[in-house]
Structure 1
Amino acid sequence: MKGILLNNLGSPDSTDTKDVKSYLGEFLMDERVIDIPYWKRWLLINGIILQTRPKKAGAAYKKIWWKEGSPLVVISQRFTDKVIKKVDLPVALAMRYGSMTMEKGIKELVDKGVTEIFLAPLYPHYAMSSYETVVVKAEEILAEKYPQVKLDVLPAFYNEPDYIKAMSNNIANHLEGFDYDHILFSYHGIPERHIMKSDVTKNHCKIDGSCCERNSVAHHTCYRHQCFETTKEIAKALNLKEGTYSNSFQSRLLKDPWLKPYTDFEIEKFPSEGKKKLAVVTPAFVADCLETLEEIAMEGKDEFLKFGGTDYKHIPCMNDNDDWVDVMVKWINDWRNK
């Protein structure tokens, strides 16, 4: 029997510092998130980051927390429930980090008799700290506990026409009536070294402004290239004029070089360039979460207005809208029937 495992990042169980600390500890100790030797990672996270960050992060979560719980989890569950109604295969939802573990999700499917799992990482773009870690974790669980279960994985869908159409429709719907000067496509940031590590050729990626334009097998695992391609395709679908949109990367951690330009820096400079009415889109996320609801919708707006902007609009993620649900159902049916 075939079954589906939808997988997103995860969330603390509550905004309490202890729950946030537990969640951040698991997340940051992942070697694909902070890719330094284990002993250095352990000292950095337990000796420094977890001493202060959980309280600060907990306060941020409190600003966006819903009555039903974490927005990311609630939205992901709503999305899953809609998918379940449209397919006649077992479907489970899991998170890479937190209490909604991938092991629980896989067990739920196996207990229903599933012997072939279609894993759908809910990340449009390939990155070792998101897409890759989900796939590796699933493979580890199956190898250890369910070696008889076959695994298929939904490829990164950053340029899939169905995804681009759904994203473009969502953006267009939310932009209706908003007279913008500029649209900023803000993607989650990753360290530059992750781009180099993910380069299967070990010599293509230079992060020099040109390598993303040269055809290469490296593009299959290059987060930076894939982000730029998403923007290009959406801009084409929406007939955006050159110069009215741009890319940036948000959510830096530590002092290492991360992908540029940085979202906060871009937001601060736009008003001085005459871009007083700004819309911000976050295509790396399919569900609204801390990074979109607090960092972009709240902090981003405050900074933009502080530096002289007049109008600011955060474009919500696709969340559980019907276009996005139908796209996932189509991909599931395509896999089922192949």
Structure 2
Amino acid sequence: MKSWSPYKNHRLFVGTVFGVFVGLTLLIAVQPAAQIQANNAPLPTAEALTAEQQAGLRVFIGEGCVACHTQQVRNIDMDKAWGGRPGIPADYAWRQRLDVWRATPSTLGSERTGPDLTEVGERQPSDLWHLLHLYQPRSVVAASIMPAFPWLFEDSVAGTPAGLALNIPAAWRARGSQATIVPTRRAQQLVAYLMSLKQAELPTGSEPAFLALSPPKAEPAAALGTPGVALLPDGAALYTTHCQACHQANGEGLKGAFPPLKGSPVVNDKDATLMVNIILQGYNPRPEYGVMLPFADKLTDAEIAAIVSHERSAWGNTGAPVTADFVKQLRALVQPVAAL
């Protein structure tokens, strides 16, 4: 008689172990990875890497550059030198597997022995500077501790474009050497990748040009059955002016950058306190999205109430409208905190 005890049936034991392994893999690794991939996408302004830049990325990884250089701008003051804004998931959503055998390259890094490279293509837009820096870092940055990469260069040969020849200072040449130094194909690819490192621009949320010519009038909205709501300005026009650039006209936001308002549990909550407080104070506790700046000093109580009421009734949302008095009460509570 076959035993159903895993301690007496080795096939059952191995099968149980394998089943638990597969289940945990799906739960801990596959499902979160699929969710992250579904919830992120490159910014509309992001430019895909060319074939030359993709090859340079492989050189960047192969030469171990990630060991000393990060590509992540944190939301702290000391990182402002490395980029115009903190990094967000959308900045890295374009990354794909190198091929069937090699995983998606991670260039975020964990050490910052050298400067962050998030916007090095913006800070230093000269390809010749980058080539000199790779050949001998101290020829352009005296205090650099970066190792030289001479194997990425060679003596000039017939047919090499003259524009690629490097003007190497005599102090960094072999004694008596008059050879013309030119970059190899791999060096050119690496520099092409470095030159591509520029942060994609985020929507600013500022007033669109077509609205600046004819600003929305503060006309009363249609009565929504709540006292005080009928006296609010046009929430749809205010949303277009102040919110649409980030959260989009359809309320679906931008994956990996700005959260959707359509179907949002915060927007549809019976209590609109959290939603109003976010608009008043800004919001930055969710690493999967960019930072939302506060609007307490930019919008009146009536304007905030109009925007909130519009968002809570648009795109299939079912939240109740709010009044200017409701916003005024919350503003009185958050102002002392903001003053600190």
- TM-score, normalised with respect to structure 2: 0.24
Which structure shows the bigger proportion of residues in strand conformation?
1
- TM-score, normalised with respect to structure 1: 0.24
Which structure shows the bigger proportion of residues in helix conformation?
1
